[in-house]
Amino acid sequence: MRSTKTIHVISAHAEGEVGDVIVGGVAPPPGDTIWEQSRWIARDNTLRNFVLNEPRGGVFRHVNLLVPPKDPRADAAFIIMEPEDTPPMSGSNSICVATVLLDSGIVPVSEPVTEMLLEAPGGLVKVRAECRNGKAERIFVQNLPSFAAQLDTTLEVEGLGTLSVDTAYGGDSFVFVDAAALGFSLVPDEAHDLARLGVRITAAANEVLGFHHPENPDWRHISFCLFAGPVVRDGHQLRAGAAVAVRPGKIDRSPTGTALSARMAVLAARGQMTPEDTLTAVSLIGSTFTGRIVSETTVGGRPAIIPEISGRGWITGTHQHMLDPDDPWPGGYRLSDTWGAR
């Protein structure tokens, strides 16, 4: 086999959402911080196209690049590449990265609990892994500070009329809509309609409402639409359905850790969740992430929370992505049947 490049990947998923991890074959990108490195990858697009575009990737795939940490306290660092964004943080991807680091032996496992400090583009995140028989069975991630941005604001969406929405940040930026108010029960058969409609709502929210992170001026858009199910309370245990539309047009198979973090921030802002409570989000395939509020803080003078999310991850295989010098599509390709069909 001949190839002009070989990229070594360990594939994984977290509660259903694919989060591959590049463990070799790619030099660290230029930049003095992990955020600057992630901005270089986002601008350059060479690596993103190679691993995310078909035939090696697909709209369902996220890929994480392991890089040496910049912060001396961190055990490892990673850059997240999603179909359309290169974001500050991702819950499912951080769980995949932690699972790969531990289950592959890159980071030694200490049973029954292994603690790590990972450096994401948006900042440091604490990881606690419950481990048994050499396997990381459950990953707990203390996420970036999360906050509600706009609550109960109106948004006009062509073909839908006027919606009441929230916007929030949980390591990435969201617009929330009431799933039941739009006629959705959050069941698997609705995935196609949720994906297409969610992208439209996200586009409308960016055009009308916008978003800016008060401490990260580079993050100036809303990434996702969360179709939020009703919150059901049983004592201090809360539970709700969740379906997140990911651009260019798919539904997250996991309950989305950044959405869970953002929703806890919104519930806390409304006085509907306290540090004594937990919130379990349920995806369309029935997988779950559970979150809690670790503490309260501020972001740019705005009330915020430090959330912790938890879920499970599994390694699914190893791959060597190659490029034949005669391949006429060295950067891959996209077609609108899956990449953003409307």
- Please give the positions annotated as active site: 90
Residues forming beta bridges with residue 142, ordered by sequence position: 126, 308
Nearest to 38 by CA among 265, 244, 218: 218
For tokens 């996420």, name the residue.
143
Owner of token pair 């409609």? 197
207 CA to centre of own chain = 22
Q: What whole-number distance in Å separates Cα of residue 36 and Cα of residue 47?
A: 15
Pairing of strands 147-157, 17-18: unpaired
Sequence-separated (6 or more) residues with CB below 8 Å from residue 189 = none
Is residue 96 packed enough to be buried (19+ CB in 10 Å), middle (13-18) or exposed (0-12)? buried
Query: Are 245 and 201 a contacting pair, CB within 8 Å?
Result: yes
Q: What is the CA radius of gyration of the chain?
A: 19
CB atoms within 10 A of CB 31: 17
Residues 93 and 80 sit within 8 Å (Cβ to Cβ): yes
